[in-house]
Structure 1
Amino acid sequence: MKGAPLVEALRSYSGAKVSLVHTGQHYSANLSDLFFDQLGLPRPEVNLGVGSDSHVRQIARIMEGLQDYFVHVQPDVVVVVGDVNSTLAAALVANKLMLPLAHVEAGLRSFDRSMPEETNRVLTDAVSHLLFTTEPSANENLKREGIGEGKVHFVGNLMIDTLQKHRPKAIALRMPRSLGLQPRNYALLTLHRPANVDTFAQLRRILSALEWIQKEMPVVFPMHPRTSERIYQFGFETVLKGMTGLRCIEPMGYLEFLGLMDGAAVVLTDSGGIQEETTCLGVPCLTLRNNTERPVTVNVGTNELVGNDPERIIAGVSKVLSGSWKKGRLPDAWDGHAAKRVADVLLAADYHQQSYR
C-alpha cells in the first residue's frame, strides 16, 4: 500500500529503472497477493516467499535472499518502507553491502521497545542515508537521535496517496450494504498485536468491551489469522458466537476494507496505518493501545488512545454514539502527492558521493 504510489511515481520518469522485491513476509493470499492486484502493482521481479516464522528466522531468510539479489543487480539505492521485518532485513543487507539506503516513513516512535516494529524503526533509521517523514514528530525524533537534518525530508504520507487514489473504487463496492449494514451505523474492529491477543486475560478484557458495543451497534470484525488462532486456543469461540451483533469475517482485500472503513461510525484498532487512514477519512478511531508512533493522528486527527481497558473503550464508543467525538483535520502534506516528493529527492541524489557509502 505504501510502495504502490512510489513505484508509479518513479516509473513515470524516463530513464528511472525500478526493481520491485516482494519478500513474501505476509503469507496469506488475502493479506498479500490481493493487494498487488487491487493496487495495480506490477508483479515483482523477485518473490522470496519467506512465509511465516519466528522474527529471527524470517529476518535471516529475507537477508539471505536479498543479499544475492542486491549483489546481482547492484542498485544505486535501496528503498524500504514502513517498519516490518522486511524493512529491517533489507536495511541491514544494504548496510553490509555498502549500498545507499532510503527509508520511507522514517522517524516514527512509540517509545515502546516491547513492540518489534519499534526496534525495526530505530535500527533502520540509524543506517539510512535518506529519511522521508510523514509528520513533524518524526523529524523531532530523528534530530534527537543525532541524525543530520540534511538527510531528513518531510514529504507527507504515501499511504494517504494510495487511499485518495483508490477511495472512489472502494466506495463504489458498496461494502456496508453488501453485508446488510447501513453506512455510519456500525463499528469496524481490527485486532492482531501480540500485546492484545497473545494472553488470555488481555484478549478477554477487549472481548468484554466488545460484548457491550455489539449490543449498541453492529460490529464487523475481519479476523487476522493470529487472532483467530488465539481465540481458538483460549476457547473464546462460544463467547463470540453469543454476540449476535458481531459479524466475524475473513481478512479482506484493500478496497473492500477501505470501503468498510469509509462507511463506519467508528473504528477500533491496534494497527498503526489504520490510525492514519481514519484521520484522512474523518472517521472516529479508538486505538486499543496505550501509545502510538503516529501522534499527529491524536493531536490533529480523529484518533484517541484507549488501551485495552474495557471502561475506556466503552466510554470512547459512547462518546461517538452521542455525537461528541472530535472532528479532526487532515495533517500537513497529506495531500496525495507524497510519492512525487519522495521520487524527486531519490532521483536528484548523487549516490556516488562518499556520504552515501
Structure 2
Amino acid sequence: MKITLIAGARPNFMKIAPIIHAIKSVQQNGKNVQYRLVHTGQHYDEKMSDTFFKQLNIPPPDANLGCGGGTQAEQTAAILIAFEQELTANPTDLVLVVGDVTSTMACAIVAKKLNTDVAHVEAGIRSFDLTMPEEINRMVTDSITDLFFTTSTFANENLKKSGVSEDRIFFVGNVMIDTLMANKPKFTKPVFFDELNLKEKGYIVMTLHRPANVDQGEKLKRLIDEIVNNVEGIPVIFPIHPRTAKIFTDLGIKADNLFIVDPLGYHEFNYLVQNCKAVITDSGGITEETTVMGIPCLTLRDNTERPETIEIGTNMLIGTNPASIKPNLDKLISGEWKKGDIPPFWDGHAAERIVDQLIKLYN
C-alpha cells in the first residue's frame, strides 16, 4: 500500500508526525505500507528547519511544491497545478490530508480528479461560520473525501447530517494530542521564565491573531486592557503573532503585568501552557491542548469548530465583546472555573487507529 501524506504548514506536520511514526511501527512488524511526504510550501516558516523535523522525529519532506504566498485563489491554483504534476509522477493508493488549510482542499481536489482515494484526518469539524476560509476548506474537502477520520462525536454527527454513510466514518481521536503526549517529556522552560520570576499557576498565557480581534486597533486595545486590568496583577504572558505585532506596537499598550515575548517553539510554548493558571486565546488548536492538560481556557471567539473542548473540556467560548471578559475572569480568579474532562480517544493513540484501519481497507 502506498500513501501520500500532505502538509502545508507547521501545524499540519504536527498532525502528520504521529501518522508517520505509526506507519514506521507497522513496517517493522512486516506490513507493506509505504508513504511519501509532500510539503506544499503553503506557509513559509523560517522555523521549518531541519531542527523542526528532528524535534518531531520525522524525515524532511520527499517533495516541497513551493506554493507559498499570493491570494487565496492564487495559492489554491498554484497547489492544484503543482500537486497534479507531483501525483501524476508519483501515483499512490491514497492521498491523506489533515486539518483545514488551503493545501488540504486543493490536494483533495487533485486526487479525486486523478481517481485517487482521499482520506481526511480531522474530518467533520465545523464552525458554521462561512466568513472563515478554513470552514470553506473543510466543507469542500469533506464533500469529496472517501474516508473520514474524526476527533469527536460532534464531527461524526456533522458528517452524518451531510449525508456521509457511517461505514466511511472512523472515530479515531485526535492526532494533535498524539503529538502533545509524545513530546511532553521534551517540554522546555523558556529562557524568560526565570527572568520574569514566573511561578507555577501564577501567570496567564494570552494568544491573539484572528482578524476579528486584532485588525481593529481600538478593539484590540480594549480587549487587552480588560484582560490585564481584571486579573488582580497576575502576569500576562503574550507571545505575539507577527500578524498582531505591528498593530500592537502602534497602539503603545503598556501595563506592569503585561509581558510581550517572541513567538515560541512547540516545546517552549507547551511548557508555558502546562504550568500556567489559564490561557486566553482565539486559537482552535490551543483549546484542545488546554483541555488535555486540564488548564482553564477562555476563547475570544463567537463560534468554535471544537465544541467538545467546551462540552467536555476546560474551555469556555466568551465571544469577542470586551465586556464579556471581566465576568469570566472573576470566575477564574475566584476558583469557580469548571474542572473539565478529556474527550474519548484523546489518548495519544489516534494515529495508530488510523493506520490500522487503512491496513484493513487496503491490504
Give the TM-score taking structure 1 as reference length: 0.92
Show the counterpart of 1:122. Answer: 139
Q: Is the 8 A contact 1:9 1:340 kept in 2?
A: yes
CA distance in 1: counterparts of 2:152 and 2:85, whole angstroms: 35
Question: How far off is 1:31 after superposition?
Answer: 6.6
Mapping for residues 215-294 of structure 1, pairs under 5 Å: 216-232=233-249, 235-236=250-251, 238-239=252-253, 242-294=254-306
Could you list the structure 1 runs, at least 4 aligned residues long, displaced by more than 6 angstroms after superposition. Answer: 172-175
Q: Give the residue type in structure 2 aligned to 1:38.
A: Q
Structure 2 residue 252 is matched with structure 1 residue 207: no
Closer/same/farther in 2, CA of residues 33 and 318 from structure 1, 3 Å limit: farther
**Residue identity in the other structure for 2:25:** S
Amino acid at match of 1:64: I
Structure number with higher relative contact order (C-alpha < 8 Å, ≥ 6 residues apart)? 1
Please show how residues 143-222 of structure 1 align to structure 2 within 5 Å.
143-170=160-187, 176-177=193-194, 179-213=196-230, 216-222=233-239
Q: Which residue identity is paired with 1:164?
A: M
Equivalent residue in structure 1 for 2:360, among 333, 344, 348: 348
Q: Percent identity?
A: 47
Of stretches 149-158 and 189-198 in structure 1, the one that deviates more from structure 2 is: 189-198
Structure-2 separation of matches of 1:217 and 1:136: 37
TM-superposed CA distance for 1:46, in Å, is 1.0
Structure 2: stretches of 5+ with no match in the other structure: 1-13
CA displacement at 1:124 relative to structure 2:
0.6
| 1:6 paired residue among 4, 19, 23 | 19
| Distance apart, 1:228 and its partner CA | 1.5
Of 66, 72, 75, which residue of structure 1 is paired with 2:89?
A: 72
Using the TM superposition, give the Cα deviation of residue 28 of structure 1 relative to its aligned residue in structure 2, in angstroms: 2.5
Distance 1:57 1:213, change over 3 A: farther
Q: 2:148 aligns to what?
A: 131
Q: Which secondary structure state, in structure 1, belongs to the residue aligned with residue 36 of structure 2?
A: coil
Do residues 89 (structure 1) and 106 (structure 2) align?
yes
Pair 187,289 (structure 1): closer, same or farther in 2 beyond 3 Å: same
1:170-199 deviations in Å (ceiling 9; x for gaps)? 056787436531111111111111222223
Note the C-alpha offset of 1:103: 0.2
Q: Is the 8 A contact 1:306 1:312 kept in 2?
A: yes
Secondary structure at the aligned position of 1:19 is classed as strand
Letter in 2 for 1:319: K
SS at match of 1:21: strand
Mapped partners of 1:139, 1:32: distance in 2: 36
Give the stretch that moved more between structures: 175-184 or 297-306.
175-184
Indicate conservation of the 8 Å contact 1:213/1:219, yes or no: no
Give the secondary-structure state (helix, strand or coil) at the position aligned to 1:328: coil
Q: TM-score if structure 2 supplies the norm length? A: 0.90
Can you list the C-alpha shifts for 1:152-186, whole angstroms capped at 9, x where unaligned?
A: 00000101111111112105678743653111111
CA RMSD in angstroms comes to 1.9
Give structure 1 stretches of 5+ with no counterpart.
Answer: 352-357
Task: Summarize the Cα distance change of 1:94–1:161 in structure 2 as closer, same or farther, 3 Å threshold.
Answer: same
| CA offsets 1:26-46 (integer angstroms, 9 cap, x no match) | 223237765423212210001
